[in-house]
Structure 1
Amino acid sequence: MISKQDVYQLLDKLESNIADDLESQTLDFKQWNKRSLDDNVKLMLKMAVCMANGGGGSIVFGVADKVKGRSDAILGVPQEIDTTLLQKSIYEKTDPHLTPVFEEITVPEGTKRLLLMNVYPGMPPYTTTDGAATIRQGKECIPFTGTLRRQMVGASTEMDYTSEIIYEDWKELFSPSAMERIREIMSKERVDQTLLTLSDKDLLESIGALRDDFLTKGALLLVGKPDALSRIIPQHKWSYRKMMSDTDYTLRDDGTQSIPVALYELERYISVDNTVVTIESGLVHPEFSTYPTIALREALLNAFGHRDFRIPGTVMLKQYKDKLILTNPGQFIGGITEKNILHHPPVARNDHLMDLLDRLKLVNRSNLGVSRIYRSLLIEGKEPPVYREVGNNIELTFTASPLKKGFKTIVDALTNEGKTLDVDHLLILQYLLRHEQIDSTVASIVAQRSMEQARELLSRMNNDFNLIEPIGRGKGRYFTLTRYSYGLLEKDMKYERQQRLDKEAIKIRVLSILKERDLTNKEIRQMTGLTSKQVQRLIKELKSDGVAVIGHGAGTKYTFDK
């Protein structure tokens, strides 16, 4: 990427050169089209995809690239152009999403304003949302053909930033305190004792962190001194904020220490307000934290291990009174989204770093990390984590939900019977703590499974675990908690209902089910949250749509008159 100062120096060269002479693999100049804003957006979109596929680059808008002389070449960009809208448009029209960074450059010529668009490297291939793509080669953007895309995917392992070797004396870069933290974690994770007895050098060599007496960048992130990390990997930073509101905080800390040391510091800050409760269970009184240690450690290590070290930013932890928000630079890769992250096959941006963390038993590479985060929260009846992609960052939110004793009782009771609830079952059960019913469509969303898998989950929870029971048949079928579940969850059953369906949505849902089967007043009440009188009024309103009433009193049914 080039800076604004770099651009100013290049503009001075326009007196004796045309802009095209100054262009390179990572730099281009483009003239602004005065007649059509849409054409300019399309050009920006094309250049963003081109540069991202080519490893990143910068484009200066407002300069004619075939004209010599500053006054003639610098035409400028209109002052009213909003860069926020440009950035939003490019983000929405690229796949995966790209978020270029815009900077304004003030000049005396033309409209007095140029735009610098920096496109940071990511994990290509990138396309527009309609599938079009180019790639930067030299000074040109050429079609990104299938052959080129296959070549890029095949070479992806060679693009791992963390696998690069640092050709300096490793002892000068090495931090004994970082290695001490690593050994502490390894000991707690009960790794092979032979690893713990190795010398620092032998341990690093055995896991592939030390190659021919040189550290890799991934190794430096684990055992490097802060000053070495700041110099060699300046993008590696971590930050903590204890938040009073969305804009104010009472405590802050920032660091460039290695990952194990950063992990220790961040966990230490969290623990101050990580309330612990106990549950009486015979002679044993187990303790439970608001944020389980397993979930926190997995989340923090994933943030460091999967962050994009090629773009600026920091691993940021914000601790509010009622939640934790953890963000790390980088977008989802390899087809992972917030809607499939729980079960998607593992994909690593920093394959070498994740391999080192796995060998040291700091993380699990079998895609169990995310599952462990979910499970450690769900077995205590707490809210599941929420993942989001926000611009160039991945955001993970933990809600400070209380331990639900009844929920834990269910898990323990089934465990004692030799039955194990996996994360999918726990997600559905946790959903039913807050909503009185669930159908296969909702279950597939909640558990991040296909419709067929969701039906199987619900069936097993009904037949094998006796946790839920079906109501109705066909498309209108849904499930509620059984009496057995209600009994164990009695103290937890304070439903936090979602917003009630609006009137028209209720009508549509009831009518669609009535076209499949008859319904009673009670079934509609369970389905909608309406009172008995409200259901009667609803049915009157639906008579014009073909709904009829059969019978009287307790035996009344509502049917669709075909």
Structure 2
Amino acid sequence: MGELLKQLQEWIKDRESEHLEFKEAKVRYDFEELTRYCAAIANEGGGKIILGISHKRPRKVVGTSAFNDLERTKAGLIERLHLRVEVDEISHPDGRVLVFNVPSRPLGMAIQFKGAYWMRGGEDLVPMTPDLLKRIFAETGPDFSAEISPKATMADLDTRAIDNFRRRWLRKSENPALENLSTEQLLTDAELILDGNITYAALILFGSRQALGKYLGQAEVIFEYRSSEASIPCQQREEYRLGFFQFMDDIWNKVNLRNEMQHFEDGLFIWDIPTFNEVVVREAILNAVAHRDYRLPGSTFVKQFPRKMEIVSPGGFPPGITPENILWKQMPRNRRIAEVLAKCGLVERSGQGVNRMFEECIKESKPWPSFAGSDDYQVVVTLRGEVQDPQFLRFLEKVGKEKLASFTTMDFLILDLINREEPIPAQLRPRLPHLVDHGVVEKVGRGKGVRHIIARQFYRFLGKKGVYTRKRGLDRETNKMLLFKHIQDNRKEGSRLQELMQVLPACSRGQIQGLLKELEKEGRVHHVGATRGALWFPR
């Protein structure tokens, strides 16, 4: 737990704020109170609540016995807040510490618990003021899906689609009272009917073909299949101009008809992986339905090819959302639709659907979902089905299901980037200590030259110990020997730093300068000149 312990010491030095809270919780901590603090921290933009730390400064670790079943605790927080709060369990010499990492609320939404939207007020938690809530809800502009369709009536909604919604909401909420509600009351409770009037959200989710044709013709999803990316005419086309709850399973079945299974064998290990993962495809279609701009006239397209799929929806990304930050920021364009889909468990209001898409692609060693081609007028999501590295599947198998269940989307992204030898972006780096402490990743080098590789045990498991040695690089003395040999071989003209960096391409400029200083202290080399123009000679 070395890296996390170091981070903990830094957090302990910080002052409490709306983003950082410490609690002793030596024996237990009330779950309702934890949930309130998580809601408040999320409403303030995200942060941490740390249990097992003394409240008064100078703080120290006192240990906590609270929340022994962390998976159950995390599930409870998701159920109450619709936010995925990750937990790090740190074994400190003075006791167990729990760090709850709370994400920020989605743009345009405040997190509610027990009838109030909580925030920090001095040392206490207080409900948000109406003025502050108004500013938050105004971040996204008006919600088209919550507006009234002036001429629509109950007769325009499909009863089978509503029954499908009722069953799913009943199963998700475990509230038996939903079974006996009238259709009007059910939709009123879901805020799909307002004062007896039908909202556009109700039409989009449950509308009949005739009703959508009259009132909202653009609420249509078109499925197309082409046998090759070069093919202009499609081999199959299906137009779904009806409420989403009437066709959401049928469109997946269309995709699955031509969902080739990819077969891999490696010794005793056998995998059969579908080209298109059901979770990923369903999430991509759900996102298109929930977040497209229904004020624009175009249809949503689902275009399937043998190894690729494109989901194209009208309207660019919501304000503040880009392909670069889509994993870290969420903002539902059609909040009423997103809330209804969350009620029946189809999506999480916190926007975790995109996270799930990335996680599932990484678990199957497929390329990440791409948003290339998106602009101010459309969002394009491209899913590629090729399994890139079957060995990575074995690596994940060795990590184990239990450990993987505790990993965040950030953890999976880091593992995939390390496996592909790509740099780790700044917003992911805070999770590296977690992976190091779990023995999945190793830290190599010092200072600015630090890098991370997959841990030795997994290369041994894969029978690729030589690859591990190559990726880790040579030890310090061997590196010094190689530098010294190059300097000896070029004793007449001398060796510049630039060419010495070519001798050890895995080392940074700073690391090589450090090795040269050691050789100089040992009396084996000396330099003539200063800075980058210096020449190195053997003594």
| Residue 158 (structure 1) shift | 7.0
Find the aligned partners of 1:335 and 1:466 in 2 and give their Cα distance: 37
Amino acid at match of 2:306: K
Give the match for residue 203 of structure 1. 186
Q: In the TM superposition, what whole-angstrom CA distance separates every residue of 1:478-503 from its partner, at most 9, and x where no partner exists?
A: 22222212234569x999xxxxxxx9
Q: Which amino acid aligns with 1:339?
A: E
- Say whether residues 1:482 and 2:455 are aligned partners: yes
1:461 aligns with 2:446: no
Contact persistence 1:175–1:224 (CA under 8 A): yes
**Alignment partner of 2:317 out of 332, 343, 358:** 332
Q: Does 1:320 align with 2:315?
A: no
CA distance in 2, matches of 1:317, 1:188: 29
Task: Count residues with an aligned counterpart.
Answer: 359
Distance in 2 between the 1:489 and 1:185 partners? Answer: 43
Deviations 1:433-461 (A, max 9, x none): 333xx4xxx211xxxx53xx51x323332
Inter-CA distance 179–287: structure 2 relative to 1 (3 Å threshold): farther
CA gap 1:200/1:393 in 2 versus in 1, 3 angstroms: same
Shift of 1:508: 13
**Which amino acid letter does the alignment assign opposite residue 234 of structure 1?**
G
2:480 counterpart residue number: none
Q: Which SS does the other structure have where 1:386 is aligned? A: coil
Mapped contact 1:318–1:324 kept (Cα < 8 A):
yes
Instruction: Check conservation: 1:222, 1:259, Cα contact below 8 A.
Output: yes
Q: 1:347 is matched with which residue?
A: 331
Query: What is the rounded CA distance, in whole Å, between the counterparts of 1:461 and 1:512 in structure 2?
Result: 23
When residues 178 and 254 of structure 1 are mapped into structure 2, their CA distance, relative to the original with a 3 A threshold, is: same
Residue by residue over 1:3-46, the C-alpha shift from the partner in whole angstroms, topping out at 9 and shown as x without a partner, is xxxxxxxxxxxxxxxxxxxxxxxxxxxxxxxxxxxxxxxxxxxx
Which one of 134, 143, 156 corresponds to residue 173 of structure 1? 156
Match of 1:428 among 414, 417, 434: 414
Give the superposition deviation at 1:287: 6.7
Instruction: Give, in whole Å, the separation in 2 of the partners of 1:471 and 1:325.
Output: 39
User: Offset at 1:181?
Assistant: 4.1
Match for residue 384 of structure 1? 368
Quick one: which amino acid aligns to residue 460 of structure 1? Answer: H
Deviations 1:62-90 (A, max 9, x none): xxxxxxxxxxxxxxxxxxxxxxxxxxxxx
Contact 1:355 1:365 in 2 (8 A): yes
Tell me, in whole angstroms, the C-alpha distance in 2 between the residues paired with 1:508 and 1:394. 46
The residue aligned with 1:472 is: 445
Does the CA contact (< 8 Å) of 1:166 and 1:215 recur in 2?
Answer: yes
Structural mapping, 1:98-497, within 5 Å:
159-168=142-151, 170-183=153-166, 185-186=168-169, 192-243=175-226, 244-248=228-232, 249-276=234-261, 288-344=273-329, 346-388=330-372, 389-402=374-387, 406-415=391-400, 418=403, 420-435=406-421, 438=422, 442-444=423-425, 449-450=426-427, 454=429, 456-462=430-436, 464-489=437-462
The letter for the 1-side match of 2:193 is L
Change (3 A) 1:254 1:507: farther
Q: CA deviation at 1:157?
A: 6.9
Which one scores higher on RCO, CA 8 angstroms, separation ≥ 6?
A: 2
1:193-242 deviations in Å (ceiling 9; x for gaps):
44345443332122111223321111111111011112111221211221
Quote the Cα distance in structure 1 between the aligned partners of 2:508 and 2:467. 28
Tell me: CA distance 1:362–1:200, structure 2 relative to 1, closer, same or farther (3 Å).
farther
* Structure 1 Cα separation of the partners of residues 276 and 175 of structure 2: 29
Q: Distance in 1 between matches of 2:261 and 2:402?
A: 28
Query: Matched residues in 2 for 1:417 and 1:218: separation?
Result: 39
Per-residue CA deviations over 1:155-207 (Å, capped at 9, x if unaligned) read 56772211112344633201123224435655775754443454433321221
- The CA deviation at 1:291 is 2.3
Q: CA 1:416–1:311 in structure 2 vs 1: closer, same or farther (change >3 Å)?
A: closer
Could you tell me how far apart the structure 1 residues matched to 2:172 and 2:259 are? 22
Give the whole-Å Cα distance in 1 for the aligned partners of 2:507 and 2:398.
39
Deviation at residue 289 of structure 1 after TM alignment: 3.0
| Displacement after TM superposition at 1:330 (Å) | 1.3
The letter for the 2-side match of 1:341 is I
Secondary structure of the structure 2 residue equivalent to 1:327: strand
> 2:201 is paired with a residue of what secondary structure?
helix
Provide the secondary structure at the position in 2 that maps to 1:318: strand
TM-score, normalising length: structure 1 = 0.55
- Cα distance, 1:326 vs structure 2: 0.8
Report SS of the residue matched to 1:333. coil
SS in 2 for 1:245: coil
Q: Where do 5+ consecutive residues of structure 1 fail to align?
A: 1-122, 125-150, 496-502, 521-543, 553-562
Q: What is the rounded CA distance, in whole Å, between the counterparts of 1:193 and 1:551 in structure 2?
A: 84
- TM (norm. structure 2) is 0.57
**Cα separation, 2, equivalents of 1:317 and 1:264:** 14
Q: 1:267 to 1:384 in 2, by over 3 A?
A: same
| Distance of 1:279 and 1:381 partners within structure 2 | 12
Taking a change above 3 Å as real, the CA distance of residues 207 and 550 of structure 1, as seen in their structure-2 partners, is farther
Among the aligned pairs, what percent are the same residue? Answer: 24
SS in structure 2 opposite 1:204?
A: helix
Computed over aligned residues only, the root mean square deviation of the Cα atoms, in angstroms, reads 4.2
Q: Which whole-Å CA distance do the structure 1 matches of 2:235 and 2:433 have between them?
A: 49
After superposition, the Cα gap between the structure-2 partners of 1:307 and 1:459, relative to the gap in structure 1 and judged at 3 Å, is same
Tell me the distance in 2 between the aligned counterparts of 1:422 and 1:277. 27
Q: Flag the 1:167–1:278 CA change in 2: closer, same or farther, 3 A.
A: same
| Alpha-carbon offset, residue 259 of structure 1 | 1.5
